[in-house]
Chains A and B, each alone.
Chain A
Amino acid sequence: MNFEDMQKAWQSHNASAKVLIDADALLKEVRHNQRHFRAMIFWRDAREVGLCVVVGLLFLHWAIRDHAWFLYLLILACAGVGSFMVVDRLIQRRKQPVANESLKTCIEVSLLQVNHQIWLLKNVVWWYLLPFAPGLAIATGVSVWRSRHVALVVAGGCVYLVLVVLLYWGVYWLNQYAVRRTLAPRQQELETLLASLE
């Protein structure tokens, strides 16, 4: 069988012949999906930024209540990280792939986005973990300094420090795991696709 025969069979076959479509139900479903899609994007952004706001407000409450000036460093870190997330999201939103672009453009834009995500996660130490480090270190130091039971607080401080280090390591590891597991394969897939178009 040559290609022309295949083409003839293909074109004489009507893909929609065996499908009945309920247009009203379909429209309802598409609108539902659109709402779901928008809600998903909104809540993803709100969750990330909201967490910074809530934690920042908590620190503010404690700072005012206990006159703990060093907590303002943590509030500043929350504000910085939250602002970075908002600005980054706004910039990236402008670079969203548009489904009606050509396949090549769509792949290029998707690849840029994946590369940016990988950059963010690989550098999570600098923009997410490090801004909190001075505040946490000073908070621990001041607590130890203010206490009269030095031995007890030093022990508590050590445990606290270990927990902070473990938390930092956990956050970092999770982010690198996400890069290896999800983003790097996607990056490779997109690069392969792009290479096949060039």
Chain B
Amino acid sequence: MTAQEQEAIFRRWLDAHLGLMLKVVRACAAGQQDQDDLFQDVLLQIWLSIPAFRGEAKETTWIYRVAFNTALAWRRGERRRREGHEIFLKSDVSPQVQASHVEALAEREIVEKLYAAIRQLPKVDASLALMHLDGLSYEEMAEVLGISENYIGVKLNRIRQQLADQLKGETDEL
């Protein structure tokens, strides 16, 4: 694979799957600086993994694998590399995004509480919760984690209950 091809795939994945990458990062790290660090690690590992991508797995499955494996190896406060480097992420302050109605705000609050609840789960359960919320099939989840679909079913029942319990008190207030 040439450098140009690698770059083209990376840009395409970034356009198509940035949301997925950010979800994994936010679910696995709390705090802006930790999230930035983990996000950089995830991007680096995705970049490095591209030459091995043969199209046999779905792009989303591949990215989930790389992102989860990176998040698993990542440790809080281990690296601070951003100083003096280019800033490539910026918050979007466009008026369209700011002008949210009440329902959207409430939904956003639920999502934030979900992130917080997921971060409380053991790492493997957090990965499953994230993929389940994103609507991945049991087969895809089994492929990402390397475990049987039956076992995923058992685990998800428990995780669903845990998330519902954790959010019960919170969402009643909304």
Given the known inter-chain contacts A27-B10, A100-B65, please indicate yes or no for A197 contacting B146, CB distance below 8 A.
Answer: yes
Q: A21 and B88 in contact (CB under 8 A), knowing A100-B52, A100-B62, A100-B66?
A: yes
B143 within 8 A of A: yes
Known: A3-B160, A22-B90. A102 touches B143 (CB 8 A): yes
B interface size (C-beta, 8 A)? 63
Whether a CB of chain B sits under 8 angstroms from the CB of A193 is yes
Residues of B within 8 A of A (CB): 7, 10-11, 14, 18-20, 22-23, 26, 40, 43-45, 47-49, 52-53, 57, 62, 65-66, 68-70, 72-73, 81, 85-92, 97, 107-108, 110-111, 114, 122-125, 127, 132-135, 143-147, 160, 163-164, 167-168, 171
A10 within 8 A of B: yes
Q: Which residues of B contact A198 (CB under 8 A)?
A: 147
Q: Bound state CA distance, A26 and B46, in angstroms? A: 13
Contact of B18 among A16, A28, A97 (CB under 8 A): A16
| Cβ of A196 to closest chain B Cβ, rounded Å | 5
Nearest CB in chain B to that of A13: its residue: B111
Q: How many A-B residue pairs have CB under 8 A?
A: 161
Q: Least Cβ distance of B100 to chain A in Å?
A: 10
> Measured between C-beta atoms, what is the minimum distance from A17 to chain B in Å?
6
- Pick the contact of A99: B65, B135, B171 (CB < 8 A): B65
Main secondary structure of the interface of A (DSSP, over half): helix
Q: Quick check: is A37 within 8 A (CB to CB) of the other chain?
A: yes
